[in-house]
Chains A and B, each alone.
Chain A
């Protein structure tokens, strides 16, 4: 496993008390594979990724184990490997580049830090990288500033920065959410190609289940700071086991040209300062039983590689019986 997160917890101390944003999350990604992390806003997807690279603010207290290629990631190692062996790209391409430096300089900086390249060589390698992310006329574009690029082109520059040092792990936090659909498809296709070429392990955070279906090997579904279901992508779509996942899938326009029904799950995400004691989905769950409210369900393996955190599992049988 390139990335292995085990029982991760993240607590934030705020003026209004302590909040556990991530509660016992375990994830793993292998080389050349893409793990999609999905879940509603506030479910802890970004916090999990930021914890892996060590970019959480000082107010965060982190528990659990994170390892890269089997070696534990201490804060010192995270600092040393960030931008080199592990890289992250973000949602906001319009603001994620520094307006005061050229695109080429910003790619070159990563190469200077992690490869120790002298400025000239780093810049040239930066141009080559911009070319690899399919920026036309890279030589000239490298000397331009971010405001001279479109959103899609900026995200390509971000990808060039992230992949400049051929990372073992790439964390992509909603990399295409801010882009229009065609550009989004181009960027994701580019990420797939680069991943195949380099064997990078990818964690793809997204809201978009269509993106998951097309680009992910495995999926982790998060709800209120926990992973509630984990499965190979194809299996998750074919046979979702957790009521929350079932709800989410119901909320997607049917992929295979179906009725295009857009149902959202009733209710709202719990307040993370005082989450429900048992299963966190209980207040919104149509399958709730007494045990759900009393006791939190652990992730239980139901088939190889497929686990769900639900007392009513396997839900497929419940659904069939009904």
Chain B
């Protein structure tokens, strides 16, 4: 177990180094000169521009800039936003919980819909229940989030007036108000993942239900309900858990667009604003943090896989 973890970390570190280089390198391709944008009214003044460039180390070579950035990151310093004039780490820590809440809610919705629907459609294979569940899953996967978001705002906020159309209240401030502001975007985000989870659960359940051990359970006199929800599901969940963790990572990343629609001040809004303002330290920081979360999640996925799969445990 410890050796496995050590091996896993040994894999992660080079991955992160290459990732950080990519993040830094690709950013250089963004059009526009950040110094010009920051200079604003004074963008015609070469002295001001030179001063800004020196201050931001834009006059150094790219490797130098990269090493400076990554060196600071390693000691926990993500730099200082050029635009908002705040440490990037602070911005990330402020916005991350918002996006995390949104993604977590979306994920819960996706699991609550996708897993039971997948089980039902597997146990009712080739019946109308199966067809309806598959139809809904396809709908969930293929429907664009922005369209569903706008439709929900029109229905629940404009037409019925049940939910606020936009904005965000932190969960620490007012629990129910916070849920009210995030439930629609969470649902919009969750539908796609629900569809993916449903399809995978269905396939895994069909596989599990055809296994010999399911016949053994029936021969033992286990009630059909228990055969499905214990004997088959326990095995079917092994691949679904891994997939679910990865989908959760995709939710965090996918929140960008949905946050824009519902004007939720999370990670998505932070990075979109930063890109428009050429606020490199923020862009780099947010993307690197996202990558770190992904790497962390894939580790979690592996740990969960071991936890649910006895065959992996003794290694």
- Complexed CA–CA distance, A92 and B217 (Å): 14
Shortest C-beta distance, B241 to chain A (Å), equals 12
Does B310 make an interface contact (CB < 8 A)?
Answer: yes
With a CB–CB cut-off of 8 A, which chain A residues contact B217? 98, 109
Q: Are A113 and B222 in contact (CB under 8 A)?
A: yes
The segment from A12-20, A77-85, A267-275 found at the interface with B is A77-85
Kindly report which residue of chain A lies nearest to residue B213, judged by CB atoms. A98
Q: With A95-B211, A96-B213, A158-B216 known to touch, is A79 a contact of B235 (CB < 8 Å)?
A: no
Are A82 and B221 closer than 8 Å at their CB atoms?
A: yes
Give the distance to chain A from B228, nearest Cβ to Cβ, in Å.
13
Report A154 CB to chain B, min CB distance, Å: 11
User: With a CB–CB cut-off of 8 A, which chain A residues contact B211?
Assistant: 95
Interface string of A106-149 (1 = CB under 8 A from B): 00011001100000000000000000000000000000010110
Residue of A nearest to B216 (CB): A96
Q: How far is the CB of A286 from chain B (nearest CB, A)?
A: 39
Give B237's nearest chain A residue, CB to CB: A100
Residue A231, interface by CB 8 Å: no
In chain B between 205 and 258, which residues have their CB closer than 8 angstroms to a CB of chain A?
211-213, 215-222, 231, 234-235, 238
Assuming the contacts A147-B310, A147-B311, asked whether A97 and B222 have C-beta atoms less than 8 A apart, the reply is no
| Chain A neighbourhood of B311, CB < 8 A | 99, 145, 147
Contact of A98 among B216, B238, B309, B314 (CB under 8 A): B216
Tell me whether B310 and A99 are in contact (CB under 8 A): yes
Whether B234 pairs with A100 at a CB distance below 8 angstroms is: yes
Cα–Cα, bound, A114→B234 (Å)? 22
Q: How large is the interface on A (under 10, 10 to 19, 20 to 34, 35 or more residues)?
A: 20 to 34
Q: Hey, which bits of chain A sit against chain B, CB under 8 A?
A: 53, 55, 79-84, 87-90, 92, 95-102, 109-110, 113-114, 145, 147-148, 158, 161-162
**A87, A92, A100, A161 pick with most chain B CB within 10 angstroms:** A100
| A107 → B minimal CB distance (Å) | 9
Complex CA gap A113/B314 in Å reads 30
The CA of A158 and the CA of B213, in the complex, are separated in Å by 10
Chain A residues with CB under 8 Å of B221's CB are 79-84, 110, 113-114
Specify the chain B residue showing the minimal Cβ separation from A145. B310
Whether B220 and A90, one on each chain, are in contact in the complex, defined by CB atoms closer than 8 angstroms, is no
CA distance A122 to B231 in the complex (A): 18
| B238 closest partner in A (C-beta) | A100
Closest to B314 in A: A148
Q: Chain B's nearest CB lies how many Å from the CB of A276?
A: 32
A113 and B310 contact, Cβ closer than 8 Å, known pairs A95-B213, A96-B212, A99-B213 = no
Contact partner of A92 (CB less than 8 A), chosen from B212, B219, B234, B308, is B212
Contact A100:B216 (CB < 8 A) given known A79-B221, A83-B221: no
Cα distance, A28 to B313, chains bound together (Å)? 47
Report the separation of the CA atoms of residues A147 and B213 in the bound assembly, to the nearest whole angstrom. Answer: 13
The CA of A53 and the CA of B235, in the complex, are separated in Å by 25
**Beta-carbon contact of B222 and A109 below 8 Å:** yes
Bound complex: CA A88 to CA B231 (Å): 18
Knowing A95-B211, A95-B213, A99-B213, the reply to whether A55 touches B234 (Cβ < 8 A) is no
Within 8 A of A (CB), among B248-278: none
Bound form: Cα–Cα A98–B234 in Å: 9
Interface CB pairs A-B, < 8 A, 25: A55-B219, A81-B221, A82-B218, A82-B221, A83-B219, A83-B220, A87-B220, A90-B216, A92-B212, A96-B212, A96-B213, A96-B215, A96-B216, A97-B213, A99-B310, A100-B231, A100-B310, A101-B234, A102-B310, A109-B217, A109-B220, A145-B310, A147-B310, A148-B314, A162-B219
Q: Which 6 A-B pairs have the closest CB atoms?
A: A83-B221, A83-B220, A98-B213, A95-B212, A145-B310, A100-B234
Residues of B within 8 A of A161 (CB): 216, 220
Interface residues on B, range: 20 to 34
A99 to B219, CA, bound (A): 17
Q: Are B212 and A100 in contact (CB under 8 A)?
A: no
Chain B residue with Cβ nearest A85: B221
* In the complex, chain B residues 277-309 whose Cβ is within 8 Å of any chain A Cβ: 308-309
- What A residues does B235 contact at CB under 8 A? 98-100
B238 partner residues in chain A, CB cutoff 8 A: 100
Mask for B113-127, Cβ within 8 A of A = 1, else 0?
Answer: 000000000000000
Looking across the interface, which residue of chain B has its beta carbon closest to that of A162? B219
A125 to chain B, nearest CB (A): 14
CA distance A88 to B311 in the complex (A): 26
Give the one of A99, A102, A145 with max B CB within 10 A: A99
Other than the known A81-B221, A87-B219, A148-B314, what 16 A-B pairs have Cβ atoms closer than 8 Å? A83-B220, A90-B215, A96-B213, A96-B216, A98-B213, A98-B216, A98-B235, A99-B213, A99-B235, A99-B310, A109-B220, A113-B220, A113-B222, A145-B310, A147-B310, A162-B219
Give the CA-CA distance A102 to B218 in the complex, in Å.
17
A158 vs B314: C-alpha distance when bound (angstroms): 23
Q: Given the complex of chains A and B, what is the CA–CA distance between A307 and B238 in angstroms?
A: 53
User: What CA separation (Å) do A90 and B218 show in the bound complex?
Assistant: 12
A228 to chain B, nearest CB (A): 28
The residue of chain B having its C-beta at the shortest distance from the C-beta of A95 within the complex is: B212
Among candidates A88, A145, A147, residue contacting B219 with C-beta atoms closer than 8 Å = A88
Tell me, rounded to whole Å, the shortest Cβ–Cβ distance linking A51 to chain B: 13
**In the complex, chain B residues whose CB is within 8 Å of the CB of A102:** 310
A110 to B221, CA, bound (A): 7
Least Cβ distance of B232 to chain A in Å?
9
What is the minimal beta-carbon distance from B312 to any residue of chain A, in angstroms?
Answer: 10
Interface centre among A55, A80, A84, A101 (most CB of B within 10 A): A101
What residues of chain B lie closer than 8 Å to A82, measured between beta carbons?
Answer: 218-221
- Pairwise interchain contact A90-B212, C-beta atoms closer than 8 A: yes
- Measured in the bound complex, the distance between the Cα atoms of B219 and A102 in whole Å is 18
Select one of A55, A84, A95 contacting B218, CB under 8 A: A55
